[in-house]
């Protein structure tokens, strides 16, 4: 049974939908730079206009109302609010835009969940070293306090940083996300560390300065696949799956929820590879300083982004050079029985979400959990009647029901990714996750609901009208 105040939502992020990349005083972000340098994104596409939500917010609000959402997750553009990244230069046009969005949502009885950072660092801060620089944490704390002060009287659910694992690894190790660095084996760990420091500072600022009056909750959104051994009877595969969970979810969840430090399994694996390669520098996985606010306990709920699962076997260590892949020393494979969505990496494994939710309950002290992203990709020819995505949402939400009713997991919300088709990072507009289709070929950027949007709306409506929770309402045929 879903809790009566269960959050039914959809999610977006600023760079992916807003457009207006230099409108009304907005400063450039690292994604503006990354896209404009060409070669890093499918078709050399960019988010200069994308869904143009900066000018077409009312259209987005109509979509939100049509779905019957109770919550909407959005992110703020740091560079739109503070063009040079500092509170010395506040862009009032940006403040007005987000005030309007928040006020309109509340007027429609939709609660905002607001993310402070969703991949789009101000370029001015990147020029100072970006997330590699220890000073970025203090700048992020100042930005966070500005947002809490400006919007916190109305926003009660905050996410500080979205997917620090993705930011660190894809942006600074693999190089397929902004800022496009490929500094293998070192920088990603430093970036992740500074993101945790920044998050902790922001949480403590909220806790000491704003919580008493604003009465909100603050966390960070962690992405993870579900990992299980390819051969459950093979010790090496079991150990590899555990290591994969430690390097993905544990990297950030362990310090925040368990010990205040990184998983020992992760640290020992990195140190072992350092010795094997003759690395003689400082700790590649940094140590937390007593001079910083403690990171342990800096989450009021567990925010989880889940998309897919992997089988894991031992091996995968490659080459003699340091890298995160070498540190992990595990190979991820797809179960051939799993259907594949519109992108090759996204195998459809709803039962993996249930297993991951149970794992989080058991390992991280039974936290309140919001599923802050979950979705199904479409690529190739447009299919408004997206039957497979309908099946995906139905089976996924059914697994969430089982996690709540049979496993006792405290799930309090589900946010579909995404409200509408948008700029999907390195994939540009070639991949579509939306509940609404956006016609990027037309100047009006019209929004048209997919069949999956209608079905998700139907699920929400049936739940809202059910007197005894959700039991039975998913059993109806569509």
Nearest in space to 77 (alpha carbons), one of 126, 33, 143: 143
| CA distance readout (Å), 141 to 167, 207, 262, 298 | 18, 12, 22, 14
Nearest in space to 220 (alpha carbons), one of 256, 247, 259, 262: 256
Is 373 an active-site residue? yes
Sign of CA dihedral 45, 51, 52, 53: negative
Tokens 């894809």 sit on residue: 170
Q: What is the maximum span of the chain, computed from C-alpha positions, in angstroms? A: 64
Look at residue 336 and give its three-state secondary structure.
coil
Alpha carbon distance 53, 421 (integer Å): 12
- Strand partners of residue 370: 303, 413
Residue 68: other Cβ atoms inside 10 A: 16
H or E element at residue 404 = helix 387-405
Residue by residue, DSSP assigns 53-114 as: HHHHHHHHHHHHHHHT-SEEEEE--HHHHSTTSSTTS--HHHHHHHHHHHHHHHHTT-EEEE
Look at residue 349 and give its three-state secondary structure.
coil
Q: Which of 242, 373, 424, 455 is catalytic?
A: 373
Alpha carbon distance 407, 358 (integer Å): 7
Q: Indicate which residues carry an active-site annotation.
A: 373
């Amino acid at each position: 049974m879903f809790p009566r105040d269960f959050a039914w939502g959809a999610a977006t992020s600023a760079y992916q939908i807003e457009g207006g990349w230099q409108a009304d005083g907005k400063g450039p972000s690292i994604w503006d730079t990354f896209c404009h340098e060409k070669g890093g994104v499918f078709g050399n596409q960019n988010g200069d206009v994308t869904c143009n939500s900066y000018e077409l917010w009312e259209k987005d609000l109509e979509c939100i109302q049509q779905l019957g959402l109770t919550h909407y997750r959005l992110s703020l553009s740091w560079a739109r609010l503070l063009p040079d990244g500092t509170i010395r230069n506040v862009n009032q046009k940006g403040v007005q835009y987000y005030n309007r969005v928040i006020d309109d949502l509340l007027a429609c009885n939709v609660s905002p969940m607001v993310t402070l950072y969703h991949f789009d660092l101000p370029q001015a801060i990147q020029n100072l070293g970006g997330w590699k620089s220890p000073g970025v944490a203090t700048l992020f704390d100042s930005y966070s306090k500005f947002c809490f002060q400006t919007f916190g009287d109305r926003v009660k659910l905050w996410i500080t940083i979205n997917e620090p694992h993705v930011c660190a690894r894809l942006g600074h190790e693999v190089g397929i996300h902004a800022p496009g660095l490929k500094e293998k084996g070192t920088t990603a760990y430093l970036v992740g560390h500074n993101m945790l420091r920044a998050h902790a500072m922001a949480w403590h600022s909220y806790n000491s300065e704003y919580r008493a009056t604003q009465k909100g909750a603050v966390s960070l959104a962690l992405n993870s696949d579900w990992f299980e051994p390819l051969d459950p009877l093979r010790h090496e595969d079991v150990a590899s799956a555990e290591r994969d969970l430690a390097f993905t979810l544990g990297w950030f969840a362990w310090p925040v929820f368990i010990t205040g430090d990184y998983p020992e399994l992760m640290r020992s694996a990195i140190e072992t590879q350092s010795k094997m390669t003759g690395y003689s520098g400082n700790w590649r996985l940094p140590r937390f300083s007593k001079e910083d606010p403690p990171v342990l306990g800096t989450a009021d709920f567990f925010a989880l982004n889940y998309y897919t699962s992997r089988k894991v076997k031992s091996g995968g260590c490659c080459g003699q050079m340091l890298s995160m892949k070498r540190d992990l020393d595990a190979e991820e494979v797809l179960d051939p029985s799993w259907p594949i969505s519109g992108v090759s990496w996204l195998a459809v494994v709803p039962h993996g979400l249930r297993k991951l939710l149970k794992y989080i309950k058991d390992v991280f002290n039974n936290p309140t959990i919001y599923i802050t992203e979950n979705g199904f990709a479409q690529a190739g020819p447009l299919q408004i009647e997206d039957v497979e995505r309908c099946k995906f949402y139905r089976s996924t939400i059914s697994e969430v029901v089982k996690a709540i009713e049979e496993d006792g997991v405290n799930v309090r919300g589900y946010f579909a990714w995404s409200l509408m088709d948008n700029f999907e990072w390195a994939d540009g507009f070639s991949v579509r996750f939306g509940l609404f289709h956006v016609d990027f070929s037309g100047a009006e950027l019209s929004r048209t609901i997919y069949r999956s949007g209608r079905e998700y709306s139907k699920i929400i409506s049936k739940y809202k009208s059910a007197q005894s929770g959700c039991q039975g309402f998913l059993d109806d045929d569509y």
